[in-house]
Amino acid sequence: MPLDLDRVGGLLLAALPEVVLTGWAMVLLLDAAWRHREPAAQRRAGILALAGIALAAAATIWLWAAGARTVGLATSLAVDPFRFAVDLIVLLAAALAVLLSMDYLEREAIRIPEYYVLILFAAVGMMLLAGGEDLFVIFLGLELMSVSVYVLSGVDRRSPVGGEAALKYFLLGAFASAFLLYGIALVYGATGTTKLTLIAAQIGPLHLARHPMLLAGLGLLLIGFAFKVAAVPFHMWTPDVYDGAPTPVTGFMSTAVKAAAFAALLRVLLEGFGSADMHQLWEQVIWWLAAVTMVAGNLIALAQRSVKRMLAYSSIAHAGYLLTALVGSYGGATAGAAAFLFYLLFYTLMTVGAFAILAVKGRAGERDVLIDDLAGLAESNPWLAFAMTVCMLSLLGFPGTAGFIGKWYILVSATGGGYGVLAVILVLTSVVSAGYYLPVVMAMYMKPRSHDLAHAGVLVSRLAGATLVVVVAALLVFGFWPNAALAAARAGSDAFLPAGIPTIAAPVPVAN
C-alpha cells in the first residue's frame, strides 16, 4: 500500500496509530476532567485506556499487514516494518502498565484518573520517537514522552521520594534534551536538512564526513540519546528515579522508554549516518558505551540488596546488551536489528513481570523490599515464586527461556559483525549477573520465612495474576519455540536492508 506523505491523506494514514491514540487520549482527558470525583472514575479510565491501546495496536497491525510504504523518500515519518514492530512493543508495555496500575493505584490510594491519559500521551511520544524520519519529529516525540513520564514519576504527591525522582528526572532529562537539540542544530548547519535520508545523501557528495560541525552535532546527538537509554556514564539518574517512582511506572519506564529511545538511536545512526566513513566514527563510541555499560551495570547491581534498585541497575546492564545489538546492525546484515527487536520484546515481558511481582509483594513504592524479604515465598505462594523465578532466569539468559534466545541472537549478530571481544564481554557480564539474579531464587526456595506472617499481605489480584500468567507463558513458550518471534523480528529489520539513496547534491567545486 503506497502512501504519499506529501499529501494530507497519505500522512494521516501513515500516522494512523498515533492519530487514533492521540484522539482517544484527548477524549479520555475530558472524561477524567468531568467525572474526576466519581468513585469508579479511575478504574473506568484504565479500561478506556486499554481500549485506546487496542485500537492503536489494531491500526498498526493493519498498516503492517497491508504492506504500507512511502512513495519516494520518507521525509517525516517512517512507514516500514521496524517502526510497526517497535510501536507494538511500546503499546504492549503501555497495556501491561495499565493492567498493573488499576489495582495498584487503588491499593495505594492514588486517585488521579489523568494517570492513564499520561500513559497514552507517553506512548504517542514513543511511537513518534521510534518512527521519526526527521530529527525534529524525533525531538518532538522525545519531549512528549519525557514530559509525560516526568509527571508519572511523581504522580504520588504524598511521597517525598517520588517528588525527588520526578525532579531529578526532569532536570537531567532537560539537560539531555539540550544536548540533543544543539546536536540537531549543528547537523542542520552542516547539511542544510534535518531529514535522515537527506542527511545521508548529503554527507558523501559534499565530503562532510570530517566536517567539524557535523562531527560535533553527531557527538551531541549521541550524548543526548545515551542519557535517554541510561548508558554508562550517563546513567546517574536511573537508580533514584526508578526507585522513587510507583512500581508500575518504573516498569513502564524501564521498558517502553528504553525501546523508543533505542529505536530512534538505531534509525538515526543507520539511516542518517550509515555511510562507511561515518560508521567508522560512531562505531567505536557505541562499542565502548556497550562495554562499559555492561560491566558497570552488572558490577553495581551485585552490591544491591533492595530488589527495586537491583532491577534498576539490571536495566542499565541490559542497555549495554541492546547497544551490542546496535553495533551489530551495520553493513546490511540485519541480524543486529532483528536481535534488537527480539530481545526488546521479551525484555519488556520479563522486566514488567518482575516489577509486577515486586508491586504485589511490597507497599508504598516497594523501596524497602529486600532480597531477604522474599525468603520462603515459595512455601507461602508457590505460583508467585515460580513466576519470579522464570523472570529472573530469563533476565539472566538461562536456557529454556526467551531471554536466552535473545542473548544468543545478540551474540550471533556481534560475532557475525566482527565484534568478538564485545561478545566475550557480554558472556562474562551475563555470568556476573547470576550473582544478583540467582540469590532472589535462592531466597524464595532455600531460605525459611523470617516469621509465619512474613507473606500474609501478599494478595494477587485477578488482573495482576492474568498478566503474570501471560508473561510467564510467553517467556517459556518462546524459549523453546522462538521461530515465530524470530521471523517477525527479521521482518521488522528489513527496513535497514541496503537501498540506493538518490544523490540530491553535487560536490562543491574546487577552485583551480
Instruction: Indicate whether 509 belongs to any domain.
Output: no
Reported confidence tier of residue 454, pLDDT bands at 50, 70, 90: low
Over residues 453-465, the mean pLDDT reads: 72
Read off the pLDDT of each residue in 30-56 and give the average, rounded to a whole number. Answer: 82
pLDDT tens readout for residues 407-417:
888 888 888 87
Which pLDDT score, from 0 to 100, does residue 463 have?
Answer: 80
pLDDT value at 63 more than 50:
yes
**pLDDT over 50 at 44, yes or no:** yes
Contact 404, 373 (CB under 8 A): no
* pLDDT of 511 higher than 50: no
Taking the C-alpha atoms of residue 501 and residue 146, their distance in angstroms, rounded to an integer, is 33
Q: Amino acid letter at 281?
A: L
The CA distance from 445 to 458, in Å, is 17
Residue 120: pLDDT over 90? yes
pLDDT band at 299 (very low <50, low <70, confident <90, very high): very high
Q: What average pLDDT does the segment 54-67 reach?
A: 90
**Is 3 within 8 Å of 10 (Cβ atoms)?**
yes
- Average per-residue pLDDT in the chain? 83
Confidence of residue 455 (pLDDT cuts 50, 70, 90): low
Cα separations (Å) of 126 from 185, 187, 457? 22, 23, 36
Q: What is the pLDDT of residues 180-221, one digit of tens each?
A: 999 999 998 888 888 888 888 888 777 777 888 888 999 999
Q: Report the domain count for the chain.
A: 1
- The answer to whether position 185 is within a domain reads yes
Q: Give the integer Cα–Cα distance in Å for 365 and 358.
A: 10
Q: In whole angstroms, how large is the CA radius of gyration of the chain?
A: 22
The pLDDT tens digits for 89-111 are 999 999 999 988 888 888 877 77
Q: CA separation (Å) from 329 to 128, 138, 217, 244, 501?
A: 21, 20, 22, 35, 19
- Show the domain range for 211: 2-496
- Is 512 among the domain residues? no
* 164 assigned to some structural domain: yes
H-helix or E-strand spanning residue 441: helix 420-446
User: What type of residue sits at position 194?
Assistant: T
Tell me if 82 sits within 8 A of 493, measured CB to CB. yes
The residue that leads in pLDDT, 357 or 35, is 357
DSSP letters along 147-199, please? HHHHHHHT--TT-HHHHHHHHHHHHHHHHHHHHHHHHHHHHHHHHS--BHHHH
Alpha helix ranges (H) inside 247-362: 247-252, 258-267, 276-302, 307-327, 335-361
- Number of helices (H), then strands (E), belonging to the chain: the values are 21, 2
Whether residue 233 has a cis bond before it, omega within 30° of 0:
yes
Is residue 241 one of the residues assigned to a domain? yes
Direct distance between the N- and C-terminal alpha carbons of the chain, in angstroms, rounded to an integer: 50
Whole-angstrom Cα distance, residue 346 to residue 351?
8
- Match 491514540 to its residue by C-alpha cell: 21
